[in-house]
Structure 1
Amino acid sequence: MKKLTTTLLLILSFFVVFGQTLEARYQPAVSGFINAVKSKNVNKLADRVAYPLEREYPLPAIKNKQEFIKRYKEVFDDQLIKMIVNSKPAKDWSQVGWRGIMLFQGDLWLDDDGTLRSVNHQSAVERKNRAVLIAREKSGLHESIKVFKDPVLVFETAKFRIRIDDLGNHNYRYASWPLKSKMSDQPDLILKKGEWVPEGSGGNHRFDFKSGNFLYSCWVMEMGGKDTPPAILTIYKANKEILSQDATTIKN
C-alpha cells in the first residue's frame, strides 16, 4: 500500500498493457468463486482466501478464517457482491500473467486456482472505520505531523521508525524517530515533497526524499522471495550509499 492508491495505479497500468480475455482453462476456478459468493456460504468462501487479506492502512489485515467470517460484511457490501455475482468469467475477468486473475480493472484479484488474494473495493463501512482509525492515529502524533490527507505506511528497522504520509496531490512526507521514541515525540527528521517511484511490474515501489545532497529512499517490497524484507531504508550522500537497513515490521 496499501497501499491501495498505489496498487490501483499499478493495476490500471497493468490492465492497459497486459489485460486479456480470460482463457477457458481459468474459467472454472472463477466460476467456483462466483458461485461461492452467490451461495452466501461465508464459511465456504473463507476457505478460498489467501491470508492475511490486506486492507487499506490503517485498517487491520484479516488474518484468518475466523476474522474473515466476522468482517465479511465490512468488505463484501451489496455493491461488491452484485459486481461479482453478475460478472461473466470470459468477459469480465482477465488473467494478468503471474499476477493472477482480476475482476474488471482490479476491483478484486484471484490466484489461478480461484483463491481470493486481494480486494481493492472499499465499502462505506470500511471507509467510515478507516476515517475513525485515522483520526485516532492523528491524535497520538506529534503536533508537527498531525496534518495530512492519507497515511501511507509506517515501518521499523533495527534503529529507526519511519512514517510516510500523503499531504495531498501525491506530495509525500517522511518522518523518522529513533526506535525507542514514540510517534508522539518530535521527529528527528521531517522531509517533504517526496516522490513515489514504481519499480518493475510486480508492485514494488519506493518513496524518494531529498535533503541537500542526501537522498532517503524507502523501498516497499510487495513482491519478493521468502527472505525479502517488507521494506528497506537506504540513505545516499552525493549518490553514494551510506546506510541500508531492512524493515522488521511494516504497516501499509
Structure 2
Amino acid sequence: MMQKHRIRNGIQIKKLYLLNKLHLMKKIFLAFLLICTNYLVNAQDQTLDKKYRPVVTSFIKVVKSGNIEKLSSKIKYPLNRTYPIPPIKNKQEFVKRYKEVFDDNLTKKIINSKVETDWDAVGWRGIMLLNGELWLDTDGKLIAVNHQSRLEAKEQARLINVDKNSLHSSISNFAQPVLVFETAQYRIRIDDLGNNNYRYASWPIKSKMSDKPKLILTNGKFTPDGSGGNHNYQFKSGDNLYTCFIIVIGEKDAPPAQLVISKAGKEILSQPAKKINL
C-alpha cells in the first residue's frame, strides 16, 4: 500500500510539474511574440546594449562561483514563487531555499548563456534571459524567476493538498491554483479549473477563504499585457466585467495587481493590491 501511495504521489507531482511548465511556457511564448514584433521594427539591434553587459556578466559570475551568500545580495525581495509556494522574503530564506529555485537546469542555462545574444533589455521592464525565464533589473538585481524546479513542484503539490482542505467546499475543486491577492476591501482568488477555464472567487477582506465566497465567477479569460510577463484575467457577470491586472514587471511603486470592475463599459471600482501570492 505504501508503495502504491508513493507511486501515486510521484505521478501527481510529475503531472503538476508538467502542467506548471506548460503554464509558464504559454506566458513566456505569448510575451516572446510581442517582443519579436518590436525586434522586427528594430531589426538592426539584435544584441544586448553594451551598457547592460557588465551587470549581466557580474550576475553570471556570481551564479558560476556557487557563492550563495553573495548571490543572495543580488536579489530584490520578496522573490515571488508559484502559488501556493510562499515568496522568498529575505537573504536568510534565499540561502535555505536556494536549491528549490536554482536547480542544475537553471544554473547551467545562466552559466552557459551568451551575454550579447541570450540576454535582452526590454525597456523599463528589465533584462531577461532566454525570452523570460529569468529577469534582472537594470542594476543587476534578480527580480523574477519564471522557472520551476522539481523540488518546487513537489512542494507545490503538497501545499495544494493543504490548500484544498482549507477552502470552502464550493471552491475546493480545481486543477491548479493561480493566485490570491488582497485589496483594501477584498480578497480575490483565481484558480484554473482545467483547459484554461479560470474561476474567480472573492470575499470581504476580513473573511477567510474557508468561508463561503461572496462571489464566484467562471469561464475567465487570460490575456497577456505587453512583453514583460504582465497579464490579466477577465470575468463577466451580466453587464459587469471584473478584470484582475497582474503586474509582474512594473514601474517603481506600481502595485503587484489591480482589481478593476466596470458596468456596461463604465468603470465603477479600481483598487490596487496590497499583497499578492502567485
TM-score range, shorter chain: 0.7 to 0.9
Q: In the alignment, which residue of structure 2 is the partner of 1:233?
A: 259
Q: How far apart are 1:82 and its partner, in Å?
A: 1.4
Percent identical among aligned pairs is 58
Instruction: From 152, 155, 171, give the equivalent of 1:129.
Output: 155
Structure 2 segments unaligned to the other structure (5+ residues): 1-22, 40-45
Q: How far apart are 1:200 and its partner, in Å?
A: 4.2
1:250 has 2:276 as partner? yes
- State the distance in 2 between where 1:121 and 1:100 align: 17
Report SS of the residue matched to 2:98. Answer: helix
CA-to-aligned-CA distance 1:73-107 (integer Å, 9 cap, x gap): 11111111111212221232222233222222222
Instruction: From 74, 77, 80, give the equivalent of 1:48.
Output: 74
Instruction: From 94, 103, 109, give the equivalent of 2:135.
Output: 109
1:159 has 2:167 as partner? no
1:81 has 2:107 as partner? yes
Q: How far apart are 1:36 and its partner, in Å?
A: 1.0
Q: How far apart are 1:210 and its partner, in Å?
A: 1.0
Instruction: From 144, 151, 165, give the equivalent of 1:139.
Output: 165
Aligned residue pairs: how many?
249
CA contact 1:193–1:209 (8 Å) conserved in 2: yes
**Structure 1 pair 135/81, CA: closer, same or farther in 2 (3 Å)?**
same
9-18 or 70-79, larger mean C-alpha shift = 9-18
**Structure 1 pair 62/245, CA: closer, same or farther in 2 (3 Å)?**
same
Q: In the alignment, which residue of structure 1 is the partner of 2:36?
A: 16
What TM-score does the superposition give when structure 2 sets the normalisation length?
0.80
CA contact 1:77–1:123 (8 Å) conserved in 2: yes
Report SS of the residue matched to 1:232. Answer: strand
Structure 1 segments unaligned to the other structure (5+ residues): none
**Structure 1 pair 97/237, CA: closer, same or farther in 2 (3 Å)?**
closer
Q: How far apart are 1:224 and its partner, in Å?
A: 3.9
- State the distance in 1 between where 2:225 and 2:133 align: 22
1:98 has 2:124 as partner? yes
79-88 or 228-237, larger mean C-alpha shift = 228-237
What TM-score does the superposition give when structure 1 sets the normalisation length?
0.87
CA contact 1:18–1:97 (8 Å) conserved in 2: no
170-179 or 128-137, larger mean C-alpha shift = 170-179
147-156 or 228-237, larger mean C-alpha shift = 228-237
**Structure 1 pair 201/85, CA: closer, same or farther in 2 (3 Å)?**
closer
3-12 or 130-139, larger mean C-alpha shift = 3-12
